[in-house]
Structure 1
Amino acid sequence: MTSLLRLLTGQPQAAPRAVSRETVAIALADGRSVEVLRVRDPRARRIKLSVDERGPRLTLPLRASDIAGTRFVIEHGDWLLAQIARAGTDAPGLEPHRSASLPLRGAEVPLRWQAARYLRIQPGDDGIDIAAPEAVALKSLQRALRDFYEGQARADVGRWLPKYLPELPRAPSRLRYRVMSSQWGSLAPDGALSLDLSLVLAPPAAFEYVLVHELCHLIHADHSRAFWREVERRCPDWRDQREYFRHSGRALKARLRKLIAADE
């Protein structure tokens, strides 16, 4: 009746409430505290708890109370901790002048810190050298680390790409690195190639497989048998690499996000 009255009188319908987000710390039954992104969504119909590379997320409908949400997290505490461990969101972040290593190309590479006036990150003979002021801002360090990782990724692709180009109908129109939520790469209709930046943390064979996969879409835009034959001809162990991402991919993405504080 109310909707009909609005229609007849021309009164505008009330706009739906916006989604609200806040990060809260919830103490589990075993005493451990977990930071959870609490999202109140007018479209939600039930309480939902999930974990991805960004961390735990608690979605609440408008009618649910914060207390009910907290109780739901505590009741599912064991499941939540197992998912956090699997997703790798409990990995350490970057600590200026304290972190001892960083992930790169499938390994933990030692860090060498040096006090300096200007911030600089570069590869060394057997590790990564970071020159930074003693009071360097964490945000500045995270931006520099992202630039470092992108430089390393571009160097890797620069070594691999020339051997594949002669057999392709055309080269990618451009190449960029992004922090992706679920994909590892994508090829736009105009030939623009995007790769997930966290690939540089993976073993090189896995990274190269993703590159080959996307390049083969320049030949076949679908995932037909003909497409997979092209992939296998260039990357015979592609099934092993795909299995690596199924097993370790979430943790890889989570580790990069934690280190560079990505919000894409």
Structure 2
Amino acid sequence: MSLFRLLAGKPHAITRTIERDSFAITLGSGQVIDVARVRDPRARRIKLSVDERGPRLTLPLRASAAAGERFVVEHGDWLAAQMADACSGVARLQPHVDAHLPLRGVALPVHWHDGRYLRLELLDGALAVTAPATPTDAALRRALRDFYEAQARADVGRWLPQYLPNLPRAPSRVRFRMMSSQWGSLAPDGALSLDLALVLAPPPVFEYVLVHELCHLIHADHSRRFWREVEARCPHWRDQRDWFRDEGRRLKATLHTLCGNAR
């Protein structure tokens, strides 16, 4: 070994980080779409996907930006179909503009009232929004997310007591998050996480996810024993699972449109 190498020591590995940007692409139909581009050192191939946040192009380090854009164009028909399927069909809440917002499988009319502070509440089958003249978009998103979480916690609070006596233990806590793919999860410490979008779905759909995750307190896997526990508590769980297959993507997209990026 040379003196230089001995003094210099072992060379440090070059750290590769994920790079993110976006670009606009025009499909054959003339539709212009913004695509999130992620260059990931772990990626082994070019991948195009669509979720509630929109289309995402993942590139390995060796792939050029031009190759990625060609890939999107080549799969334009598939992309257009996926985006149409994921379209939420709702618009962001606009200050003092008549609208309908989803809750528990129905669309509630929104009634606006003037006030100094922003507040949302259920009142006579409608969503009553008290707001100053010009609330910011960020404030509306936060308020709506807080409203949805309060409603979701109320639902879980009604359902949970009937299931606790037949469980080995209760969840250590219940958290609501905007989840990209899952609808719920149970951590090793018993913390239960649920997708906030569930409160937009019909109540039996939401309750099924709660039952599913609670049954993981009995069996951590998805064995036949696990599904027997689910069926004992939710006999029509297959119908609810089918509902997710048909409407799940749209449900997540709806919540993202209404509350995405709220802090």
With the length of structure 2 as denominator, give the TM-score of the two structures.
0.89
The corresponding residue for 1:182 is: 181
Structure 2 residue aligned with 1:37: 36
Matches within 5 A, 1:94-133: 94-98=93-97, 100-133=99-132
Check whether the contact 1:25–1:35 (CA below 8 A) recurs between aligned residues: yes
Which residues of structure 2 form unaligned runs of 5+? none
Matched to 1:141, the amino acid is: L
Query: 1:184 deviation in Å?
Result: 1.3
Aligned partner of 1:164 in structure 2 is 163
Q: Deviations over 1:169-207 (max 9, x none)?
A: 222221111112222112222222211111101110000
Shift of 1:6: 8.0
CA distance in 2 between partners of 1:260 and 1:16 (Å): 35
In the TM superposition, residue 14 of structure 1 has moved relative to its aligned partner by 5.0
Q: Is the 8 A contact 2:138 2:262 kept in 1?
A: no
| 8 Å CA contact retained: 1:28, 1:77 | yes
The alignment yields a C-alpha RMSD, in angstroms, of: 2.4
Aligned partners of 1:8, 1:45: CA distance in 2, in Å?
36
Between the aligned partners of 1:245 and 1:7, the Cα distance in structure 2 is 61
- Report if aligned partners of 1:6, 1:12 keep a CA contact under 8 Å in 2: no
Distance 1:53 1:99, change over 3 A: farther
Give the C-alpha shift of residue 33 in structure 1. Answer: 1.2
> Residue 185 of structure 1 contacts residue 214 of structure 1 at CA under 8 Å; is this kept in 2?
yes
In the alignment, the residues of structure 2 paired with residue 8 and residue 249 of structure 1 have an alpha-carbon distance, to the nearest angstrom, of: 59
**Normalising to structure 1: TM-score of the pair?**
0.89
What are the ranges of 5 or more consecutive residues in structure 1 without an aligned counterpart? none
Question: Per the alignment, do residues 11 and 231 of structure 1 end up closer, same or farther by CA in structure 2, a change over 3 Å counting?
Answer: closer
In structure 2, C-alpha distance between the alignment counterparts of 1:222 and 1:47, rounded to whole Å: 32
How far apart are 1:109 and its partner, in Å? Answer: 1.6
Q: Deviations over 1:3-52 (max 9, x none)?
A: xx989964524514422111322222222111110112234343321112
**2:141, 2:262 within 8 Å by CA — same for their partners in 1?**
no
Contact 2:34 2:55 (8 Å CA) reproduced: yes
> Which region of structure 1 is more displaced relative to structure 2, 6-15 or 69-78?
6-15
What letter corresponds to residue 105 of structure 2 in structure 1?
G
The residue aligned with 1:146 is 145
Aligned residues: 260
Aligned sequence identity (%) = 66
Task: Tell me the residue number matched to 1:77.
Answer: 76
- 202 and 6 in structure 1: CA distance in 2 versus 1, 3 angstrom threshold: farther
User: Using a 3 Å threshold, how does the CA distance of structure 1 residues 229 and 45 change in structure 2: closer, same or farther?
Assistant: closer
Deviates more, 1:219-228 or 1:101-110: 219-228
- The secondary structure found in structure 2 opposite 1:109 is strand
